Structure 1
């Protein structure tokens, strides 16, 4: 019998396991479907400061997960269904923090004041800032915005170590009138800045590395069970009393006083629905007995819609050996759309777009909507089978303001791209699409390594050959001149090419007890049932203006402390 069973050893699960097992009388079981990342013996791809290998390595993914990002019309059954896309979700200890881009930021203070206004009492900016500081050990800055004693180190690449490509983007930003901000995580204002990342000594520090270190693993009251896929939540009436799991392929049952789902915004709502907690109509349709009708389970799924303007980087301006970090510089700006808060747009500057030889030649201005208004996505069950992936519809760009801002964002990035500093180090800008072709060549294997090595030699050859190759093998029907000279073509590109940036969230939202769409209370407790919490990005009332890993770590720290107090 365990006091706490945590389902999912990702960012939130790692924090919860560390904090809740700190009290020796509290017996904790952490279940993770993927492999372990043992301290000092983590896979090299995960330790790597460059994240593009781990991110596309199928050993660390839920490989069968497919999603739709374009808007799905349920009112028109004749409408053609948008294509299914692979959506990389981590299946490894440390979760997303073991494979992500390591970006360590928090969002706007207004985000968390909005959380409170939407019913998450006690989650305003002043309430959450202490927990952001508790997470981090900032190696560069001190002061009221920064933590110095946390388990996750935060640093920035000094400008003198940036690639010439990143330096050129910075110069273009300066010429465009943007302010240089030395600290992205200081005051939330517009400007360009060195990207903050969870990294030390040129190595990733995942949540598992930071929170499940050697000392933590020595605790006799903590059991970490990897290769353990939870298939079923066990209930007695409306109380959750345990889980059934496949451990190394063999079914086992574990009992606990409290169960915590930390499986992320796609798999946590799926677990709830399979257990009979969710929208009554959908549960009945699936033939699942209703334990608790909660209409918000799986609803209002969010991500940050994004598009990319890419270009060929000339020799000498590429990754330079100072750092394997390929995202060194970022830009935060305001769209100026009426009624939209400042800092609603974000640009990540990539000086390398993939792990392979051609990826090393392509730079990207990845523009995403920090403050998105598209919140009509959903997660539904495809089957009662616990091994079947759910149906996931993000419905990105369901709000017209998001379309308009990606269109204006593309034009803004085009202006940067055509400025003298960037023209000097790049060639052949093109609207980039994360297509199936790009995905296939991005899978880490020997064949792709050889193919891209040959292509890269040709790309470094005559300009005419390079431009032909980009048009023939990279561009997906949209050209730079075509979208710049035709608003309809630009909108068509945005609608077709927009994808999320792997910030799935908000599908089990916190809210007031009387909010019919709220799934959990302000401590992650699932409404109407006992002994069950959700602690991960799915409980966010709205996605913040940030990469979601640090907000997830913050939320886990905050709820873990509340549990320890109770």
Structure 2
């Protein structure tokens, strides 16, 4: 275990996507001493675990090894105030969630960033952020003014000539939507059917750690990486942050002083650290017995995620992927709901040919449906009884009825598309799916689960009456086709099954310093505090119409330039 320095120029808290970018860019100056701190394990070049390198997202099936243990969130709250809670898998490993996610690499739409600028994030419109999207990437398929060719992150797609039978079948089924097929979701901004872009090279994941903390970067004498090191508290002197108290794996603690601290701990951990440091809503801080350093009501507010549903379908054998074919997600459908309160391109649907790593998963297709432009808002708070413990997270999904309406409408559309002769025409072989506690236990990588899922897969491929009986048992009797014919029952199904897609954001909102709800200004500096910058998904004023990893990398590249210029 390497010795921690006592003093650095820049302390980067969190080795996720943003932290890897900031550590790389700021340590490029040999005169700047940088310390990157990550609570999870390190995965240095040449020693990346195979489950992280896998094109299929295997890390989530390895228990809490790569995620924050015990972290959960309220998903919805009913009229009586009863919450539905479940585990929230946030990356806790070098590379953060880019080391555990599905590797999606979509940017979102120009209107997303123009909206950020209109909400007070001056300088973050599409024309201002595009150079940073180009800077971060090497697009292996497309060139031109919208794409980069020499950035750290490779981005590719599996294009139609190389599609396996499932992708061809799903595309033919999606054609019934009437939307055109397109090729570049990061350069064509209309509705359509797209091959998904993902961060991958030579059929291996390229996380932010692999892209930005390569061997040459780690060899810099002025950069130290401290993994399995937890930030206990930020150190303050008046209204200035001066460093942090760090805890090592052996339980020892050390104060590290820094001229500047950059929080890159993510939309759940960054606001938690601010609140513990006395930066947040004054009333809440008093309830927690924390001295107020700065009254910033926006800390922990504006929490957003994409409300989502997952639906599975039994696949004919001819459409299944061989075990050796690791990439399983091929297509995305971006479309406009046309519902009241909706907007252009406000819905998103992806199709995957594998519902799990095991034999049972290989016999199932998995469809992700989510609201691309949600109105619902949640919040994060400390627990007054235990401010040092895990935060109290309420995603607030479906708190705005317009999101419920659009998801219900989306289920009807999805069922109409995928109950198809191209995929599986049997409506009874389409069923709700979720990463429930029971499914999570069954999905753990163990010899027992490998054997059990192989048996279940053989039974599922047996006679149709047996398969129907098994599917009814798996789903509690839910019949999606029947639900789509009944208004109230479909809405109940959506409420009981909705979840986010691990895109938590917005809890340290970037905006005009004169806006009391803003937490950071457009340069990422915490308003009213010296020596502290935040850059991760927490600063997003609104969710982009996309997975959040590439937008976070863009934001980190942009704010790194600001920090270097200072």
Task: Tell me the TM-score normalized by structure 2.
Answer: 0.96
Question: Which residue in 1 is equivalent to 2:420?
Answer: 419
**Selected match of 2:65 from 42, 55, 59:** 59
* 1:98 maps onto 2:99 in alignment: yes
On the 8 A contact 2:340/2:402 being kept in 1, the answer is no
> Which stretch of the first structure deviates more once superposed, 259-268 or 309-318?
309-318
Distance 1:518 1:384 in 2: 27
Question: Which residue in 1 is equivalent to 2:47?
Answer: 41
On the 8 A contact 1:136/1:147 being kept in 2, the answer is yes
Question: Which residue in 1 is equivalent to 2:357?
Answer: 355
Question: Which residue in 2 is equivalent to 1:295?
Answer: 297
Cα drift, residue 527 of structure 1: 0.9
Distance 1:464 1:41 in 2: 48
Question: Which residue in 2 is equivalent to 1:441?
Answer: 442
Map Cα deviations across residues 151-178 of structure 1 (whole Å, 9 max, x no partner).
0000011324433222211001223311
On the 8 A contact 1:358/1:456 being kept in 2, the answer is yes
* 1:218 maps onto 2:219 in alignment: yes
Question: Which residue in 1 is equivalent to 2:452?
Answer: 451
Written as runs of structure 1 = structure 2, the 5 A alignment for 1:23-422 is 23-54=29-60, 56-71=62-77, 79-248=80-249, 249-320=251-322, 323-338=325-340, 340-375=342-377, 377-383=378-384, 388-422=389-423
On the 8 A contact 1:301/1:378 being kept in 2, the answer is yes
RMSD of aligned C-alpha atoms? 1.6
Distance 2:455 2:17 in 1: 39
Question: Which residue in 2 is equivalent to 1:486?
Answer: 486
Distance 1:48 1:54 in 2: 12
Distance 1:320 1:180 in 2: 26
Written as runs of structure 1 = structure 2, the 5 A alignment for 1:413-562 is 413-423=414-424, 428-472=429-473, 474-562=474-562
Cα drift, residue 102 of structure 1: 0.2
Distance 2:348 2:146 in 1: 20
On the 8 A contact 2:170/2:422 being kept in 1, the answer is yes
On the 8 A contact 1:303/1:394 being kept in 2, the answer is yes
Return 5+ residue gaps in structure 2 as ranges.
Answer: 1-6
On the 8 A contact 2:415/2:481 being kept in 1, the answer is no
On the 8 A contact 1:307/1:366 being kept in 2, the answer is yes
Distance 2:375 2:61 in 1: 27
Corresponding residue SS for 2:482: helix
On the 8 A contact 1:72/1:393 being kept in 2, the answer is no
Distance 2:323 2:458 in 1: 20
Corresponding residue SS for 1:358: helix
Map Cα deviations across residues 295-332 of structure 1 (whole Å, 9 max, x no partner).
00000100000112321111121113674111111110
Question: Which residue in 1 is equivalent to 2:4?
Answer: none
> Which stretch of the first structure deviates more once superposed, 179-188 or 20-29?
179-188
Distance 2:453 2:61 in 1: 18
Corresponding residue SS for 1:316: helix
Distance 1:65 1:365 in 2: 25
Cα drift, residue 384 of structure 1: 7.3
On the 8 A contact 2:300/2:380 being kept in 1, the answer is yes
Cα drift, residue 243 of structure 1: 0.6
Distance 1:492 1:56 in 2: 32
Question: Which residue in 2 is equivalent to 1:76?
Answer: none
Distance 1:519 1:58 in 2: 31
On the 8 A contact 1:374/1:395 being kept in 2, the answer is yes
Distance 1:484 1:227 in 2: 48
* 1:13 maps onto 2:19 in alignment: yes
On the 8 A contact 1:163/1:320 being kept in 2, the answer is no
Distance 2:524 2:342 in 1: 29
Return 5+ residue gaps in structure 1 as ranges.
Answer: 74-78
Distance 2:493 2:78 in 1: 17
Question: Which residue in 1 is equivalent to 2:3?
Answer: none
On the 8 A contact 2:535/2:555 being kept in 1, the answer is yes
On the 8 A contact 2:263/2:270 being kept in 1, the answer is yes
Distance 2:390 2:176 in 1: 48
Distance 1:470 1:478 in 2: 9
On the 8 A contact 1:309/1:410 being kept in 2, the answer is no
Corresponding residue SS for 2:495: helix
Distance 1:467 1:160 in 2: 35
